[in-house]
Structure 1
Amino acid sequence: MPSIQTVRGTVDTADLGVTLMHEHVFVLSSDVQQNYSQEWGSEDERIEDAVRQLTSAYDAGVRTIVDPTVVGLGRYIPRIAQIAKRVPLQLIVATGLYTYNDVPFFFHYRGPALDPFVGTQVPDPMVDMFVGDIRDGIAGTGVRAGMLKCAIDAEGLTPGVERVMRAVARAHHETGVPITVHTHPESGTGFEVKRVMCAEEGVDPTRIVLGHSGDTTDLDYLTALADAGFVLGMDRFGINLETTFEARADTLIEMVRRGYAERMVLSQDASCYIDWMEPATRAAVLPQWHYTHLFDDVFPYVLDRGIEDKQLQTMLVEVPRTFFAAG
């Protein structure tokens, strides 16, 4: 059987079960946390809280969570490995780099950035870094990445974003590991992914999840990308700032009605702790943003409006299994 790497080791894709394709355990600003960590509190308390929240997800029916926390989002795999030992569900982690604009200064004078100075093409060290995370493990932990991740947001295809995108595509070709891309549907960035990663770098669109596709109600945009072969990440349920619960859910219902259940995955983009906002603010502004919002609120709403349970199972079980098995 095809297999996938999880934090605890290799599992058959047939054993993934209900899979949330885009959730985080922690999203952190590493430099800030290392110097101003009062809000973070005790490491032990954070781990205990993560174990509690992830166990609640398991109790709701989740069996696997894909955590696309990469460089730029505070990835620290030793902490994740501790948590994975104590929770019943499976965690799949990612490699890649998260930026909306420039690459970190570490890469400014490495790889392609040196081309104008040396007069020849220089290999991008990002590719070897990503491949190493997949083949050898991350940071000496032995935990191997099962997903690649990059991002393109409203800033568009900046030189830094394009560099990361191409490095992820090349690491994919070396390893066969699938890709998730943070996108900004309002700006049509899914089409930039199609041009750069697929037309120019040769990645099969069926191996790419276009994350945050559910941020739009533009059905023409969504159907065009689904028809091109991409998997659409309807994966921000609970983040109702620039949209509403009903808009997200009704868009999902209509896409299913049009026959696209086999081209979508579901998630919430939630986390146990994210330092992008104060915990009290998050709780007040985004009360539904947690691991069980789909089960508590979304599924009852969509089932009451025509989606069938077998269609939910397609998006939660069959599409993730097929996506990972294709490698």
Structure 2
Amino acid sequence: MIAVRTVLGDLPPERLGVCDAHDHLFFSSPRLPGQELHDVSAARAELVAFRALGGGAVVQWTPYGLGRRAADLPPLSRETGVHMVAATGLHQDVHYDEATLAELRGRLAEVFVAELTEGIGASGVRAGLIKVAGGFHALDAHARRTMTAAAEAHHATGAPIAVHLELGTGALDVLDLLCGELGVPAHRVILGHLNRFPDGAVHRRAAEAGCWLAFDGPSRAHHATDWRMPDAVRDLAEAGFGDRLLLGGDTTTAAARSVDGGPGMPYLLRRVGPRLALAVGEGLVERILTENPGRAFGVEWR
């Protein structure tokens, strides 16, 4: 049976509802000192605000070692009525200390599979996707190592692989590695942050390969390209790839949360959805927010 693996158990894809396909309820990295997402009350308030606008599900891309707070996710899901998907995987090496990377070396795939099938630590929460990351216009040794482990975990479980593209770059290099060398089916790969590098030719080639294209934001760091996202989505839709698109908020700092004065999760439904509807129509936006996430994260788990 095809199911989305949520923090409360496996769920039929059609029951996800309106889905924020790339976001963070909790996230903590030495790269963002003082901006940690670790407040449970703030996470609850963000989910309540998202739910009030019709939100039904959030896919949290926070991977191993970056403050996932997996044990807090099930009660938050029950309290707010929002389905949640947790992630395993590993981010770029700059987000970790050397001791953590050394401890994981040689057993990444084992860790990923365990978190997908048995649970994250003592929480018992099973991850529903594998999050990895590329570099700026390239794949360094760490990226290749983590993606190789992600591919092994995919082949063992069927789990989708979600990829952070640094500044939106390197999409085709990622596909060459994951789908070419490592044999991961393209429809099990989700490329994130494509709006940050609005190259229509790259977007088209990625879509033609059969992977999922995730557009997320907005953010202060990437505001220069945020405004081009509707045109990129429209161009892909007109080329026949509306069924490969996903939308997310990607809230990574405390200041970006709506409860702290930022756009936060609600912005996806309050502003992004209506703006996109002007470019591609309300019907397609609804499918991008509901049907597409169910197919992207729905898996016949092994």
Question: How does the TM-score come out when normalised to structure 2?
Answer: 0.88
Percent identity, aligned pairs only? Answer: 26
**Native 8 Å contact 2:195 2:225 kept in 1:** no
Q: Distance in 1 between matches of 2:32 and 2:235?
A: 42
Q: Which residue of 2 aligns with 1:237?
A: 218
Instruction: State how 1:1-327 maps to structure 2 within 5 Å.
Output: 1-29=1-29, 46-99=39-92, 104-106=97-99, 124-154=106-136, 156-184=138-166, 187=169, 189-238=170-219, 241-271=222-252, 274=253, 279=255, 289-305=263-279, 307-327=280-300
Distance 1:125 1:310, change over 3 A: same
2:245–2:288 Cα contact (<8 Å) kept: yes
Q: Distance in 1 between matches of 2:95 and 2:79?
A: 37
Alignment gaps of 5+ in structure 2: none
String of CA shifts for 1:107-158, please: whole Å, max 9, x gaps: 66568x6xxxxxxxxxx31111110001111111111001011001217211
Say whether the 8 Å CA contact 2:46–2:265 is kept in structure 1.
yes
CA contact (8 A) 2:197 2:225 kept: no
AA matched with 2:10:
T
Question: Structure 1 270/210 Cα, relative in aligned 2: closer, same or farther at 3 Å?
Answer: same
Q: CA 1:102–1:262 in 2, change beyond 3 Å: closer, same or farther?
A: same
Distance in structure 2 (CA, Å) of the matches to 1:89 and 1:267:
15
8 A contact 1:6–1:90 mirrored in 2? yes
Amino acid in the other structure paired with 2:125: V
Q: Structure 1 240/293 Cα, relative in aligned 2: closer, same or farther at 3 Å?
A: farther
User: Secondary structure at 1:265's aligned position in 2?
Assistant: strand
Structure 1, unpaired ranges of 5+: 114-123
Does the 8 A contact of 1:217 with 1:248 survive in 2? yes
- Residues 102, 160 of structure 1: 8 Å contact kept: no
- 1:75 alignment partner AA: R
RMSD: 2.9
TM-score by length of 1: 0.82
Deviations 1:43-96 (A, max 9, x none): 7xx222211110111111111110010125322212333423322110000100
Are residues 109 and 9 of structure 1, via their aligned partners in 2, closer, same or farther at CA, if it must alter by over 3 Å? closer
CA distance in 1, matches of 2:31, 2:200: 40
Q: What is the DSSP-based 3-state SS (H/G/I as helix, E as strand, rest coil) of the residue aligned with 1:232? A: strand
Deviation at 1:250, TM superposition (A): 2.2
The alpha-carbon distance between structure 1 residues 198 and 40, as it changes in their structure 2 partners (threshold 3 A), is: closer
**C-alpha distance in 1 between matches for 2:272 and 2:264:** 12
- SS of match in other structure, 1:140: helix
Larger Rg: 1
